[in-house]
Protein backbone atom coordinates (compact mmCIF):
# COMPACT_ATOMS: atom_id res chain seq x y z
CA UNK A 1 0.00 0.00 0.00
CA UNK A 2 1.29 3.41 -0.94
CA UNK A 3 1.39 5.49 2.21
CA UNK A 4 3.13 8.55 0.88
CA UNK A 5 1.37 11.87 0.48
CA UNK A 6 0.77 10.80 -3.14
CA UNK A 7 -1.99 8.49 -1.89
CA UNK A 8 -5.26 9.68 -3.43
CA UNK A 9 -8.14 10.25 -1.03
CA UNK A 10 -11.87 10.55 -1.59
CA UNK A 11 -13.88 12.59 0.89
CA UNK A 12 -17.67 12.30 0.83
CA UNK A 13 -19.62 14.83 2.89
CA UNK A 14 -18.41 18.42 3.07
CA UNK A 15 -20.23 19.82 6.06
CA UNK A 16 -18.22 21.65 8.69
CA UNK A 17 -16.25 18.54 9.55
CA UNK A 18 -15.91 17.05 6.07
CA UNK A 19 -14.47 20.32 4.73
CA UNK A 20 -11.88 20.31 7.52
CA UNK A 21 -10.96 16.67 6.79
CA UNK A 22 -10.58 17.26 3.06
CA UNK A 23 -8.62 20.46 3.75
CA UNK A 24 -6.16 18.57 5.98
CA UNK A 25 -5.56 15.93 3.29
CA UNK A 26 -5.00 18.63 0.68
CA UNK A 27 -2.62 20.47 2.98
CA UNK A 28 -0.64 17.25 3.49
CA UNK A 29 -0.30 16.96 -0.28
CA UNK A 30 -2.80 14.16 -1.04
CA UNK A 31 -4.63 14.26 -4.35
CA UNK A 32 -8.13 14.75 -2.93
CA UNK A 33 -11.43 14.06 -4.65
CA UNK A 34 -14.53 15.41 -2.94
CA UNK A 35 -18.28 15.09 -3.26
CA UNK A 36 -21.11 16.76 -1.38
CA UNK A 37 -24.89 16.84 -1.89
CA UNK A 38 -24.71 20.63 -1.92
CA UNK A 39 -21.91 21.03 -4.44
CA UNK A 40 -21.15 24.68 -3.58
CA UNK A 41 -19.61 23.56 -0.27
CA UNK A 42 -16.71 22.19 -2.36
CA UNK A 43 -15.83 25.61 -3.83
CA UNK A 44 -13.04 26.53 -1.42
CA UNK A 45 -11.56 23.04 -1.56
CA UNK A 46 -11.60 23.06 -5.35
CA UNK A 47 -9.86 26.44 -5.29
CA UNK A 48 -7.24 24.81 -3.05
CA UNK A 49 -6.69 21.96 -5.50
CA UNK A 50 -9.39 19.33 -4.82
CA UNK A 51 -11.22 17.56 -7.64
CA UNK A 52 -15.01 17.70 -7.44
CA UNK A 53 -16.55 14.38 -8.48
CA UNK A 54 -19.89 14.66 -10.34
CA UNK A 55 -21.44 11.74 -8.43
CA UNK A 56 -20.79 9.71 -5.27
CA UNK A 57 -20.00 6.72 -7.48
CA UNK A 58 -17.35 8.73 -9.34
CA UNK A 59 -15.86 9.92 -6.06
CA UNK A 60 -15.44 6.32 -4.91
CA UNK A 61 -13.51 5.31 -8.00
CA UNK A 62 -11.01 8.18 -7.85
CA UNK A 63 -8.89 6.41 -5.22
CA UNK A 64 -9.09 3.28 -3.08
CA UNK A 65 -9.40 5.09 0.28
CA UNK A 66 -12.67 6.90 1.00
CA UNK A 67 -13.56 8.97 4.05
CA UNK A 68 -17.24 9.62 4.64
CA UNK A 69 -18.43 12.15 7.21
CA UNK A 70 -22.12 13.04 7.04
CA UNK A 71 -24.79 13.85 9.60
CA UNK A 72 -25.71 10.30 10.58
CA UNK A 73 -25.69 6.65 9.49
CA UNK A 74 -29.02 6.81 7.61
CA UNK A 75 -27.49 9.56 5.42
CA UNK A 76 -24.47 7.32 4.79
CA UNK A 77 -26.72 4.41 3.71
CA UNK A 78 -28.73 6.73 1.49
CA UNK A 79 -25.56 7.86 -0.29
CA UNK A 80 -23.58 4.63 -0.52
CA UNK A 81 -26.58 2.33 -0.97
CA UNK A 82 -27.60 3.93 -4.26
CA UNK A 83 -27.71 1.54 -7.23
CA UNK A 84 -24.89 3.20 -9.16
CA UNK A 85 -22.41 3.13 -6.25
CA UNK A 86 -19.86 0.29 -6.15
CA UNK A 87 -17.98 -0.27 -2.90
CA UNK A 88 -15.84 -3.25 -3.89
CA UNK A 89 -12.14 -2.53 -3.78
CA UNK A 90 -12.63 0.48 -1.50
CA UNK A 91 -11.45 0.95 2.05
CA UNK A 92 -14.21 2.97 3.61
CA UNK A 93 -13.40 5.00 6.73
CA UNK A 94 -16.65 6.20 8.25
CA UNK A 95 -16.11 9.22 10.52
CA UNK A 96 -19.84 9.88 10.90
CA UNK A 97 -20.92 9.92 14.57
CA UNK A 98 -23.17 7.12 15.77
CA UNK A 99 -23.44 4.32 18.29
CA UNK A 100 -21.54 1.03 18.44
CA UNK A 101 -24.43 -1.07 17.06
CA UNK A 102 -24.68 1.25 14.05
CA UNK A 103 -20.93 0.90 13.50
CA UNK A 104 -21.03 -2.91 13.63
CA UNK A 105 -24.05 -3.03 11.30
CA UNK A 106 -22.37 -0.65 8.87
CA UNK A 107 -19.23 -2.81 8.86
CA UNK A 108 -21.27 -5.91 7.90
CA UNK A 109 -23.18 -3.91 5.30
CA UNK A 110 -20.03 -2.51 3.68
CA UNK A 111 -18.14 -5.81 3.80
CA UNK A 112 -21.06 -7.62 2.12
CA UNK A 113 -20.60 -5.12 -0.72
CA UNK A 114 -16.88 -5.88 -1.05
CA UNK A 115 -15.47 -2.94 0.90
CA UNK A 116 -12.95 -2.95 3.70
CA UNK A 117 -14.41 -0.92 6.56
CA UNK A 118 -13.01 1.08 9.44
CA UNK A 119 -15.28 2.99 11.77
CA UNK A 120 -14.11 6.15 13.46
CA UNK A 121 -15.03 8.83 15.95
CA UNK A 122 -13.77 12.38 15.89
CA UNK A 123 -13.22 13.85 19.34
CA UNK A 124 -12.35 17.31 18.08
CA UNK A 125 -13.82 20.40 16.46
CA UNK A 126 -13.23 21.18 12.76
CA UNK A 127 -10.85 24.05 13.59
CA UNK A 128 -8.18 21.70 15.03
CA UNK A 129 -8.37 18.98 12.35
CA UNK A 130 -4.89 18.49 10.92
CA UNK A 131 -3.19 19.28 14.25
CA UNK A 132 -2.10 17.02 17.12
CA UNK A 133 -5.06 18.32 19.14
CA UNK A 134 -7.50 16.45 16.90
CA UNK A 135 -8.07 13.07 18.54
CA UNK A 136 -9.49 10.61 16.03
CA UNK A 137 -10.33 7.07 17.10
CA UNK A 138 -10.56 4.12 14.73
CA UNK A 139 -11.78 0.56 15.11
CA UNK A 140 -11.93 -2.38 12.75
CA UNK A 141 -9.31 -4.72 11.27
CA UNK A 142 -5.81 -3.73 12.44
CA UNK A 143 -4.29 -4.49 9.04
CA UNK A 144 -6.64 -2.06 7.30
CA UNK A 145 -5.78 0.65 9.80
CA UNK A 146 -2.04 0.00 9.48
CA UNK A 147 -2.30 0.04 5.68
CA UNK A 148 -3.64 3.61 5.80
CA UNK A 149 -2.23 4.88 9.06
CA UNK A 150 0.28 7.32 7.63
CA UNK A 151 -2.42 8.77 5.37
CA UNK A 152 -4.90 9.10 8.23
CA UNK A 153 -2.15 10.77 10.28
CA UNK A 154 -2.78 13.91 8.23
CA UNK A 155 -6.02 14.39 10.21
CA UNK A 156 -4.50 14.58 13.70
CA UNK A 157 -3.65 12.15 16.48
CA UNK A 158 -5.11 8.91 15.17
CA UNK A 159 -5.43 5.77 17.27
CA UNK A 160 -6.55 2.22 16.54
CA UNK A 161 -8.58 0.78 19.43
CA UNK A 162 -9.18 -2.80 18.29
CA UNK A 163 -10.84 -5.07 15.76
CA UNK A 164 -14.39 -4.61 17.12
CA UNK A 165 -15.90 -1.97 14.84
CA UNK A 166 -18.02 -0.64 17.72
CA UNK A 167 -15.08 0.43 19.88
CA UNK A 168 -14.58 3.91 18.43
CA UNK A 169 -18.20 4.83 19.17
CA UNK A 170 -18.00 3.31 22.65
CA UNK A 171 -14.87 5.31 23.49
CA UNK A 172 -16.58 8.37 22.05
CA UNK A 173 -19.56 8.14 24.43
CA UNK A 174 -17.32 7.11 27.35
CA UNK A 175 -15.35 10.29 26.74
CA UNK A 176 -18.57 12.30 26.68
CA UNK A 177 -19.60 10.73 30.02
CA UNK A 178 -16.29 11.93 31.44
CA UNK A 179 -16.68 15.41 29.99
CA UNK A 180 -20.24 15.95 31.22
CA UNK A 181 -19.50 14.50 34.65
CA UNK A 182 -16.59 16.88 35.18
CA UNK A 183 -18.62 19.83 33.91
CA UNK A 184 -21.68 18.93 36.01
CA UNK A 185 -19.58 18.57 39.15
CA UNK A 186 -18.01 21.95 38.47
CA UNK A 187 -21.43 23.55 37.88
CA UNK A 188 -22.73 22.09 41.17
CA UNK A 189 -19.81 23.63 43.08
CA UNK A 190 -20.13 26.91 41.20
CA UNK A 191 -23.85 27.14 42.03
CA UNK A 192 -23.07 26.55 45.70
CA UNK A 193 -20.23 29.07 45.90
CA UNK A 194 -22.16 31.77 44.06
CA UNK A 195 -24.64 31.78 46.96
CA UNK A 196 -21.70 32.96 49.13
CA UNK A 197 -20.71 35.66 46.63
CA UNK A 198 -17.84 33.67 45.03
CA UNK A 199 -17.99 34.08 41.27
CA UNK A 200 -17.37 31.30 38.74
CA UNK A 201 -14.01 32.71 37.65
CA UNK A 202 -12.72 32.68 41.24
CA UNK A 203 -13.73 29.06 41.79
CA UNK A 204 -12.60 27.76 38.35
CA UNK A 205 -8.82 27.49 39.07
CA UNK A 206 -9.52 25.62 42.34
CA UNK A 207 -11.93 23.27 40.54
CA UNK A 208 -9.35 22.75 37.82
CA UNK A 209 -6.77 21.71 40.41
CA UNK A 210 -9.19 19.23 42.03
CA UNK A 211 -10.16 17.72 38.67
CA UNK A 212 -6.50 17.30 37.68
CA UNK A 213 -5.69 15.75 41.07
CA UNK A 214 -8.58 13.27 40.84
CA UNK A 215 -7.56 12.37 37.28
CA UNK A 216 -4.22 11.20 38.72
CA UNK A 217 -6.06 8.52 40.70
CA UNK A 218 -7.54 6.80 37.67
CA UNK A 219 -4.76 4.35 36.74
CA UNK A 220 -4.49 3.03 40.32
CA UNK A 221 -8.26 2.79 40.70
CA UNK A 222 -8.44 1.01 37.34
CA UNK A 223 -6.10 -1.65 38.74
CA UNK A 224 -8.57 -2.21 41.59
CA UNK A 225 -11.46 -2.56 39.14
CA UNK A 226 -9.56 -4.94 36.86
CA UNK A 227 -8.48 -7.11 39.80
CA UNK A 228 -11.92 -6.98 41.47
CA UNK A 229 -10.31 -6.06 44.80
CA UNK A 230 -11.01 -2.71 46.50
CA UNK A 231 -8.93 -2.31 49.67
CA UNK A 232 -9.59 1.07 51.30
CA UNK A 233 -6.03 2.36 50.99
CA UNK A 234 -7.06 6.03 50.88
CA UNK A 235 -10.58 6.12 52.29
CA UNK A 236 -13.60 3.87 52.70
CA UNK A 237 -16.81 4.33 50.75
CA UNK A 238 -18.72 4.98 53.99
CA UNK A 239 -16.40 7.94 54.68
CA UNK A 240 -17.15 9.32 51.20
CA UNK A 241 -20.89 8.77 51.80
CA UNK A 242 -20.73 10.94 54.95
CA UNK A 243 -19.15 13.74 52.89
CA UNK A 244 -21.85 13.29 50.25
CA UNK A 245 -24.44 13.97 52.96
CA UNK A 246 -22.64 17.28 53.68
CA UNK A 247 -22.85 18.21 49.99
CA UNK A 248 -26.60 17.51 50.00
CA UNK A 249 -27.14 19.48 53.23
CA UNK A 250 -25.10 22.44 51.97
CA UNK A 251 -26.96 22.41 48.67
CA UNK A 252 -30.34 22.26 50.41
CA UNK A 253 -29.40 25.06 52.80
CA UNK A 254 -28.17 27.24 49.95
CA UNK A 255 -31.31 26.56 47.93
CA UNK A 256 -29.43 25.07 44.96
CA UNK A 257 -30.24 21.93 43.01
CA UNK A 258 -29.72 18.65 44.91
CA UNK A 259 -30.53 16.14 42.14
CA UNK A 260 -26.94 15.26 41.30
CA UNK A 261 -25.63 14.95 44.89
CA UNK A 262 -28.67 12.81 45.81
CA UNK A 263 -28.11 10.54 42.80
CA UNK A 264 -24.46 10.01 43.75
CA UNK A 265 -25.37 9.35 47.40
CA UNK A 266 -28.12 6.90 46.42
CA UNK A 267 -25.61 4.83 44.48
CA UNK A 268 -23.13 4.85 47.35
CA UNK A 269 -25.91 3.92 49.82
CA UNK A 270 -26.91 0.90 47.71
CA UNK A 271 -23.30 -0.25 47.58
CA UNK A 272 -22.92 0.19 51.35
CA UNK A 273 -26.17 -1.74 51.90
CA UNK A 274 -24.68 -4.53 49.78
CA UNK A 275 -21.76 -4.69 52.22
CA UNK A 276 -19.14 -2.56 50.47
CA UNK A 277 -18.94 0.37 52.93
CA UNK A 278 -15.44 -0.60 54.06
CA UNK A 279 -14.07 -0.78 50.52
CA UNK A 280 -12.65 1.96 48.29
CA UNK A 281 -14.67 4.22 45.98
CA UNK A 282 -14.15 2.29 42.71
CA UNK A 283 -16.21 -0.57 44.19
CA UNK A 284 -19.11 1.53 42.82
CA UNK A 285 -18.26 0.00 39.43
CA UNK A 286 -20.70 -2.72 40.48
CA UNK A 287 -23.49 -0.12 40.61
CA UNK A 288 -22.43 1.43 37.30
CA UNK A 289 -22.04 -1.97 35.68
CA UNK A 290 -25.68 -3.01 35.86
CA UNK A 291 -28.96 -1.45 34.91
CA UNK A 292 -31.36 -0.66 37.77
CA UNK A 293 -33.85 -3.17 36.33
CA UNK A 294 -31.47 -6.16 36.74
N1 LIG B 1 -18.68 19.67 13.77
C2 LIG B 1 -18.10 19.12 14.85
O3 LIG B 1 -17.60 19.81 15.74
C4 LIG B 1 -18.03 17.62 14.97
C5 LIG B 1 -17.19 17.05 15.95
C6 LIG B 1 -17.11 15.66 16.04
C7 LIG B 1 -17.86 14.86 15.21
N8 LIG B 1 -18.69 15.44 14.26
C9 LIG B 1 -19.49 14.55 13.42
O10 LIG B 1 -19.20 14.76 12.05
C11 LIG B 1 -20.41 14.48 11.29
C12 LIG B 1 -20.67 15.67 10.38
O13 LIG B 1 -20.82 16.82 11.20
P14 LIG B 1 -20.73 18.29 10.58
O15 LIG B 1 -20.42 19.20 11.70
O16 LIG B 1 -19.88 18.29 9.38
O17 LIG B 1 -22.26 18.49 10.15
P18 LIG B 1 -22.87 19.49 9.06
O19 LIG B 1 -22.00 20.70 8.93
O20 LIG B 1 -24.28 19.68 9.44
O21 LIG B 1 -22.76 18.68 7.71
C22 LIG B 1 -23.56 17.53 7.47
C23 LIG B 1 -23.10 16.86 6.21
O24 LIG B 1 -23.92 15.70 5.97
C25 LIG B 1 -24.50 15.83 4.67
N26 LIG B 1 -25.81 15.14 4.66
C27 LIG B 1 -26.71 15.07 5.66
N28 LIG B 1 -27.78 14.33 5.29
C29 LIG B 1 -27.54 13.93 4.02
C30 LIG B 1 -28.26 13.14 3.09
N31 LIG B 1 -29.44 12.60 3.40
N32 LIG B 1 -27.70 12.93 1.88
C33 LIG B 1 -26.50 13.47 1.55
N34 LIG B 1 -25.76 14.22 2.39
C35 LIG B 1 -26.27 14.44 3.63
C36 LIG B 1 -24.60 17.31 4.43
O37 LIG B 1 -24.78 17.59 3.06
P38 LIG B 1 -25.29 19.05 2.62
O39 LIG B 1 -24.11 19.95 2.75
O40 LIG B 1 -25.75 18.85 1.22
O41 LIG B 1 -26.41 19.41 3.56
C42 LIG B 1 -23.23 17.74 4.96
O43 LIG B 1 -22.21 17.39 4.06
C44 LIG B 1 -21.54 14.25 12.30
O45 LIG B 1 -21.77 12.87 12.46
C46 LIG B 1 -20.97 14.88 13.57
O47 LIG B 1 -21.52 14.30 14.75
C48 LIG B 1 -18.77 16.79 14.12
Contact 60, 90 (CB under 8 A): yes
Nearest-angstrom CA–CA distance, 138 and 136: 7
List of E strands, 69-178? 91-94, 116-123, 135-139, 157-160
Instruction: Give residue 212 CA to ligand 1 midpoint distance, Å.
Output: 33
Q: Decide the pairing of beta strands 116-123 and 135-139.
A: antiparallel
Instruction: Give residue 13 CA to ligand 1 midpoint distance, Å.
Output: 7
- Which pLDDT score, from 0 to 100, does residue 4 have? 65
- Which pLDDT score, from 0 to 100, does residue 1 have? 43
- Which pLDDT score, from 0 to 100, does residue 82 have? 87
Q: Please, what are the domains in the chain?
A: 9-163 (3.40.50.720), 195-288 (1.10.1040.10)
In this structure, the residue with its CA closest to atom 18 of ligand 1 is: 15
Instruction: Give residue 49 CA to ligand 1 midpoint distance, Å.
Output: 22
Q: What is the pLDDT of residues 182-229, one digit of tens each?
A: 999 999 999 999 999 999 999 999 999 999 999 999 999 999 999 999
Instruction: Identify the three-state secondary structure at position 268.
Output: helix
Q: From the alpha carbon of 13, which atom of ligand 1 is closest?
A: 43
In this structure, the residue with its CA closest to atom 28 of ligand 1 is: 75
Instruction: Give residue 111 CA to ligand 1 midpoint distance, Å.
Output: 23
* Residues contacting 217, CB < 8 A, separation 6+: none
Instruction: Give residue 237 CA to ligand 1 midpoint distance, Å.
Output: 44
Q: Which residue ranges have their beta carbon within 6 Å of ligand 1?
A: 13-18, 36-38, 41, 69-72, 75, 78-79, 96-97, 122, 125-126
* Local confidence pLDDT in tens for the 294 residues of the chain: 445 678 999 999 999 999 999 999 999 999 999 999 999 999 999 999 999 999 999 999 988 999 999 999 999 999 999 888 999 999 999 999 999 999 999 999 999 999 999 999 999 999 999 999 999 999 999 999 999 999 999 999 999 999 999 999 999 999 999 999 999 999 999 999 999 999 999 999 999 999 999 999 999 999 999 999 999 999 999 999 999 999 999 999 999 999 999 999 999 999 999 999 999 999 999 999 999 765
Nearest-angstrom CA–CA distance, 189 and 255: 13
- Which pLDDT score, from 0 to 100, does residue 5 have? 77
- What are the CA-CA distances from residue 136 to residues 1, 132, 154, 156, 158 (Å)? 21, 10, 11, 7, 5
* Residues contacting 120, CB < 8 A, separation 6+: 93, 94, 95, 136, 137, 138, 139, 168
Amino acid sequence: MNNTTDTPINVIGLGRMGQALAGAFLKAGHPTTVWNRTASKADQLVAAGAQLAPTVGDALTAGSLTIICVTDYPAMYELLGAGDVALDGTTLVNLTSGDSAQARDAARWAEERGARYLDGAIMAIPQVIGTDQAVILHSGPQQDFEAHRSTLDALGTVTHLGADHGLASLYDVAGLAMMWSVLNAWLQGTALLRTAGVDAATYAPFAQQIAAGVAEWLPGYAEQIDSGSFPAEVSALETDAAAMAHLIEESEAAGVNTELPKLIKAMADRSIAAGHGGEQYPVLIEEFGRSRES
